[in-house]
Amino acid sequence: MSLQRSLRNGLFPTYCQLCQTPIKQTGLCHICHAALPLFSNSEVDLFARPDIERMFYLPHCDGLSACGWYQGALARWLKQVKYNNSRVAMKVLRQIITAHWHRLNLENLIDIDACILVPVAKTRHIFRGYNQVYQTWAPLLKQVNLPIIDVIGKHSAPSQVTMQKLARKQSAQQAYFLKRALTHKRILLIDDVITTGATINHISALCKEAGATQIWAFATCLTET
């Protein structure tokens, strides 16, 4: 460790975001990380779980993966990133996403040509200055050499936070549009939270219509309904 880093760590120590144990870099200690209620690394395709298959009707998706349920600390960190651009919460989520990705070994189990990150509307992106999905997922995808392609756009639309299932479906159908063809592409479609599946369902349908041969959805969290 460099003298500069040693001095910085001495003056500004870093602590686990759950138990406050001193650690080397922002995030979670290995004990708290291991204790998170994440999906098992044997649950690569969550459609194999009858309870999840009943919750999310995603007929255009060929597989579904996620880190965990949208609850507790995971929900809190996602909200902090989405609404406050919290760098601490962002680093915690990156740590969780990266570790879970490598545990699943997904890139060696399915063929992926490119990744699509669910976009935010241009006006919202300008107002916030960031897309929370990109903030949390892009570093990992670059690390594993999976290209991110910009093929889905989004019109300005009301927030879906308070919408019921039917309203979310109608909003998603009106909000997203395709920019170009995806002939013979195998796509990894990524979002931060899947609540009803309306957004993922509509975007995956657009991708299949554009020629994609496979859509695998991956969310940081699923909302239990």
Assess whether pLDDT exceeds 50 at residue 7: no
> How far is CA 125 from each of CA 85, 102, 128, rounded to the nearest angstrom?
12, 30, 5
Mean of pLDDT over the chain:
89
Assess whether pLDDT exceeds 60 at residue 128: yes
Place of tokens 């657009």: 206
Write down the pLDDT at residue 175. Answer: 84
Mean pLDDT, residues 37-48 taken together:
95
Mean pLDDT, residues 16-31 taken together:
94
Assess whether pLDDT exceeds 70 at residue 160: no
Write down the pLDDT at residue 106. Answer: 86
Which of 136, 133, 139, 178 shows the shortest CA–CA distance to 155? 178
Can you tell me the distance from the alpha carbon of 225 to that of 223, in angstroms, rounded to the nearest whole number?
6
End-to-end CA distance of the chain: 47
Can you tell me the distance from the alpha carbon of 110 to that of 40, in angstroms, rounded to the nearest whole number?
18
Write down the pLDDT at residue 10. Answer: 52
Assess whether pLDDT exceeds 90 at residue 108: no
The number of beta carbons lying within 10 Å of the beta carbon of residue 196 is 21
Which of 216, 191, 196 shows the shortest CA–CA distance to 107? 216
Structure tokens at 129: 């200055």
Assess whether pLDDT exceeds 60 at residue 136: yes
The number of residues in the chain equals: 225
Pair 60, 208: CB distance under 8 Å: yes
Q: Please report, rounded to a whole number, the percentage of residues in the chain having pLDDT higher than 70.
A: 86
Structure tokens at 75: 């929900």
